[in-house]
Chain A
C-alpha cells in the first residue's frame, strides 16, 4: 500500500521537477539528471538517483543496471518496516506509459554494491540501463557531495 502511494507521488510530482540538467533518450524513454553521492572512506556501497519518463503508450521495464565502478547495481527501495529502515531489492522496475518514476533520496534508488574505488565529488561515471523493450542506454552520472539532497552542478 505504501509502495502504491509512493509510486503515485513519484508520478504526480514530476510536474514540479525542475528542468533537467542532463537528458538521455532511447525510444520513448528519457532518463533525466542521473546523479550520485561521493562515498566516504572505505565504504563499498554507493547510490544513484535519476528520473525515468516513459512518453510512449506502452509499458516498459528497467531490467538490469551495470557500471564499471561497482560489481553490482540493483534497484532498491528504502522503506520503514517494523520501525526499521530497510533497503530491499525490487528486481525489475515497471515504467508505465505516460508517466515517470523518480529515484531520489529516501525512496527508490540504484544501489551500487562492491564499489571498486571511492566515488569522488565532482567526478562522473557511466552507467548502463537495460530496458526490456527500448534496449540499452548508457548515461553519465555526476557525483555530488556526501549527503547532497539534489544534483547541483550543471553537467
Chain B
C-alpha cells in the first residue's frame, strides 16, 4: 500500500522492556481471528507460562498511594493506555465496562483498573475525569515516570512516544504506541488471562467466569 509510516523509525523508545516477558504475553495470547467482531480481534486461550504481574507502587485516580498488595483478595482486570488515546483505549475501557455489567453480581469480585503509560499528561485528576465515562468502579493508576516504567515492565507492557512528523514542535500533542492487552489477575496477584484489544465483551465475560470458578 502507499503507506507512510509514523511508526517505528521515528518513535522514541521511552522504556525498553524485558523481551522475555513480552514473548511470554505473545505465547499467552491466542491470535485467532474473529473477523465478524471487530477490525482488530483475537480471543485468549490460556497459559500460566507468562510471568506477568508482581510488585508495583502507584497513585490511584484519587491521589492515594497504592501497591499491588492493595489489590489482593479480588481479581483485577487491568488495561494500560492513556487518556489522549482516541481509538483503542476508550474501546478497551468500554469493553471492560460492558463485561463487568454482564457479569452481574460476580462483577463485585473483579476490580477494573486503567493504568496510564503517559504520566506526563495523565495526572490523578485527569484520570478521574476520564474514568467517569466508564464503569463506576474503575480505578485509575498513575505515578512518576519511574513508577509507570516499573509497573509496565512488571506486566510486560511496552510503550513509546510517537514523534509527530508533521508537527515536530507540538510535543504536547504526541501520541503513544503501546501494548494493547487487558490482563486478568487473580486474588493472589497471579496472572490468569490476557485479552487482546478488539475482543468482544462476551468472550471476556466467559473467560472471567471460568477463571472465577477455578
The answer to whether B39 and A107 touch across the interface, beta carbons within 8 angstroms, is: yes
Interface centre among A10, A39, A45 (most CB of B within 10 A): A45
Q: Which residue of A lies closest to B94 (CB)?
A: A147
- From A45, A72, A92, contact of B86 by CB (8 A): A45
| A35: min CB distance to chain B, Å | 13
Q: Which residue of A lies closest to B90 (CB)?
A: A147
Residues of A within 8 A of B178 (CB): 84-85
The answer to whether B129 and A45 touch across the interface, beta carbons within 8 angstroms, is: no
Inter-chain CA distance A149–B198, complex, in Å, is: 11
Question: Does chain A have a CB within 8 A of B64?
Answer: no
- For A, the interface residue count at a CB cutoff of 8 angstroms equals 53
The answer to whether B39 and A6 touch across the interface, beta carbons within 8 angstroms, is: yes
Residues of B within 8 A of A112 (CB): 86
Question: Does chain A have a CB within 8 A of B83?
Answer: yes
Q: Which residue of A lies closest to B200 (CB)?
A: A149
Question: Does chain B have a CB within 8 A of A46?
Answer: yes
The answer to whether A86 and B177 touch across the interface, beta carbons within 8 angstroms, is: yes
List CB contacts (< 8 Å) of B29-82 with chain A: 33, 35-36, 38-41
The answer to whether B160 and A84 touch across the interface, beta carbons within 8 angstroms, is: yes
Inter-chain CA distance A86–B179, complex, in Å, is: 9
> Given A84-B160, A85-B179, are A9 and B86 neighbors across the interface (CB < 8 Å)?
no
Q: Which residue of A lies closest to B81 (CB)?
A: A85
The answer to whether B167 and A113 touch across the interface, beta carbons within 8 angstroms, is: yes
List CB contacts (< 8 Å) of B157-179 with chain A: 158-160, 162, 164, 166-167, 170, 172-173, 175, 177-179
Question: Does chain B have a CB within 8 A of A43?
Answer: yes
Inter-chain CA distance A88–B86, complex, in Å, is: 13
Question: Does chain B have a CB within 8 A of A68?
Answer: no
Interface-facing stretch out of A22-30, A73-81, A122-130, A131-139: A73-81
Inter-chain CA distance A146–B83, complex, in Å, is: 10
The answer to whether B180 and A107 touch across the interface, beta carbons within 8 angstroms, is: no
| A25: min CB distance to chain B, Å | 25
Which residues of A approach B to under 8 Å, CB–CB?
A: 3, 5-6, 9-10, 12-13, 16, 37-47, 71-72, 76, 78-92, 102, 104-109, 111-114, 145-149
> 12 pairs across A/B with beta carbons < 8 Å?
A5-B33, A9-B36, A71-B167, A84-B180, A87-B162, A91-B4, A102-B39, A106-B40, A109-B87, A113-B173, A147-B93, A149-B91
